[in-house]
Amino acid sequence: MSQKFSERALSEIATSLPAAMAVFRRHNLDYCFAGNVSLADAATSHGLDLAGIETELAALASAPQQPPEDTEPLIDRILARFHEVHRRELQMLQALAEAVEKVHAGRPDVPVGLAAFLKRLTAELDSHMQKEEQILFPMMRAGRHPMIGGPIGMMRREHVEHGRQVAELTALTGGFVPPEDACGTWHALYTGLRKLADDLIEHIHTENSFLFPRFGA
């Protein structure tokens, strides 16, 4: 692609150069839900150094690229890298959120309602992942299926809802920045939640942009 990175949309860069996802996350650039803006516009609105980001991306683009994964290994990687990890981390994060809300109750900066929010998120995400694991992914592993557009459309709609939940989580935690005098548990909670949010966005982008388009959706 000869077009300059600055003129290309974030989502398109992330799809053609998956290593760029880590660069965008580090700079808090949303390549998944609001990814249709150009890198130049995103850098301007976030007050970022455009030339520096372009240099990082150029270095990634000149490195040897992995060939695209076949569908079966891609699904296996989604299950191991995202589904299993979300389930494991959400358990731990719920316990940390309960502890922080309880121990620091009454402080104005405590994230009131965070543990309950994580409980709902865990249930919704688990139900979504179960549908992929039990219905959609087996259909994909079996090859094409005339009815596959239905479940893919449903998963895409649920991904939009998950994006809204990531925004809500970011707001609840003030952008995952703990107060200056926060205890170790509070720091661990926000560090873990930031990783969960980053993973969830990468998970959704991987399904929406790499897996689903293989099935004409």
Q: Among the candidate windows 15-23, 67-75, 87-95, 130-138, which touches Fe ion by CB under 5 A? A: 130-138
CB of 125 to Fe ion, least distance (A): 9
Nearer to Fe ion, 3 or 134 (CB): 134
The whole-angstrom separation of Cα 158 and Cα 161 is 5
Check residue 202 for interaction with Fe ion (CB under 5 A). no
**151, two tokens:** 């479940």
Nearer to Fe ion, 132 or 202 (CB): 132
Provide CB contacts within 8 A for 50, sequence distance 6+: 6, 39, 40, 43, 44
Residues 44 to 83: which contact Fe ion by CB under 5 A? none
Site size for Fe ion, by CB under 5 A?
3
Nearer to Fe ion, 187 or 215 (CB): 215
* DSSP, res 70: P
Check residue 198 for interaction with Fe ion (CB under 5 A). no
Q: Among the candidate windows 8-16, 37-45, 59-67, 205-213, which touches Fe ion by CB under 5 A? A: 205-213
Nearest to 204 by CA among 140, 155, 131: 155
With 0-12 / 13-18 / 19 or more C-beta atoms within 10 angstroms meaning exposed / middle / buried, residue 97 is buried
**112, two tokens:** 């009131």
The whole-angstrom separation of Cα 131 and Cα 212 is 15
Q: Among the candidate windows 10-18, 95-103, 147-155, 164-172, which touches Fe ion by CB under 5 A? A: 147-155
**95, two tokens:** 């316990």
* DSSP, res 66: P
Check residue 132 for interaction with Fe ion (CB under 5 A). yes
Nearest to 135 by CA among 119, 120, 154: 154
Nearer to Fe ion, 20 or 155 (CB): 155
- Give the x-and-dash track for 148-167 against Fe ion (CB under 5 A): -------x------------
Applying CB under 5 A, the residues found at the interface with Fe ion are 132, 155, 207
